[in-house]
Amino acid sequence: MKITSRKYFEGDYEKFIYPLEKENMKRYWDKHMGDNWSDEDNRKKFNEIVEHGWTYLFFDNGEFCAFTSFFPDEDEKDALFVYNIQVKDKFQNKGIGSWILNFVENKAREKGFKKLNAFVWKDNPAFKLWSRKGFNVIGTLEPNSFIVEKKT
């Protein structure tokens, strides 16, 4: 594996980000929030993240494999909120998620944030990754997701 990263470019949403996010997350959304996934709402939220935060894409030997989005937490000024870490199915369970969480943690430190926050569906297998990387459950959101936190 040779992972490289780059910032989001115009056109990446349609080509890389949206297809992967929908593939990975629509089933959780439909299961926990009702069958009301909205392509339009998804795009609006992504535009907000681009405006106020950061999105990075990751490539393994030049092949797109994952992305992450994060932004300053509106409720906690010293926290960075990790909105998304999405890894393509064929690249899962190969250490890329851990690599990305390390990447995000380093970015948080560089930008002066003291902790990382995120929401994780309770039944998402990625919850194990968050736990393994030192994130602690600090609450629940709805009955189906955890609020997790890690000090940087």
Q: What is the pLDDT of residue 119?
A: 93
Q: What is the pLDDT of residues 53-66, one digit of tens each?
A: 999 999 999 999 99
Q: What is the pLDDT of residue 136?
A: 96
pTM: 0.93
Per the CATH hierarchy, to which homologous superfamily does domain 3-151 belong? Gcn5-related N-acetyltransferase (GNAT) (3.40.630.30)
How many whole angstroms separate alpha carbon 82 and alpha carbon 69?
A: 6
Q: What is the pLDDT of residue 54?
A: 97
Q: What is the pLDDT of residue 21?
A: 94
Give the chain's residues under pLDDT 50. Answer: none
List the alpha helices (DSSP H) in the chain.
12, 18-33, 39-52, 96-110, 127-132
Q: What is the pLDDT of residue 78?
A: 96
List the structure tokens of 45: 């939220």
Q: What is the pLDDT of residue 29?
A: 85
Q: What is the pLDDT of residue 129?
A: 94
